[in-house]
Homo-oligomer: A and B are copies of this chain.
Amino acid sequence: MTIESALKTNNFKNEVHKASLNILYTAWCIKSESNAVLKRYGLTQEQYNVLRILKGSHPTSLCVKEIGSRMIERSSNVPRIIDKLVLKKLVKRTGSVVDKRETVNTISDAGIALLDASTKVLEVKWKNLFALNEGDAKTLNALIEKMRNGL
């Protein structure tokens, strides 16, 4: 499926413009497909993202700001995403001892279990979806980071 047929248009100013639409559209595809899987585990993309971040640093706990700065989509409502995860007992949150303004968060065993289970299913999906070899992916990464240089 080319971007032309996906958006039913040939009206691109140039290749760079087309690339930006290609990226936006592909991101939407990735998110839609992921959400369909994550829904079965009662997770949103953002919740999944926070769990991954916390597992990445486990057993070291992270404060809200630190989590926010590592998220793919930096959102102002990280506290509320964590709220949901704490409610589901997937994350443990306590007050920090070094800085009383901070709360400090760790992924729970249940959180790790849920994360591993959902990740396994997601990775199978990615493998089927992304018909890209490692070399091509490397080129793509280089180009997309070059593109983002101005940001």
Instruction: Flag the segment in A66-74, A91-99, A102-110 that touches B.
Output: A66-74
User: In the complex, what's the smallest C-beta–C-beta distance from A91 to chain B, in angstroms?
Assistant: 18
Given known contacts A27-B23, A137-B15, A7 and B70 CB-to-CB distance under 8 angstroms:
yes
Given known contacts A16-B134, A27-B27, A126-B20, A143 and B143 CB-to-CB distance under 8 angstroms:
yes
Does residue A19 face the partner (Cβ distance < 8 Å to B)? yes
- The chain B residue with its CB closest to the CB of A14 is B134
Find A145's partner among B2, B123, B126 (CB 8 Å cutoff): B2
Contact residues in B for A132 (Cβ distance below 8 Å):
16, 19, 143, 146-147
Does residue A24 face the partner (Cβ distance < 8 Å to B)? yes
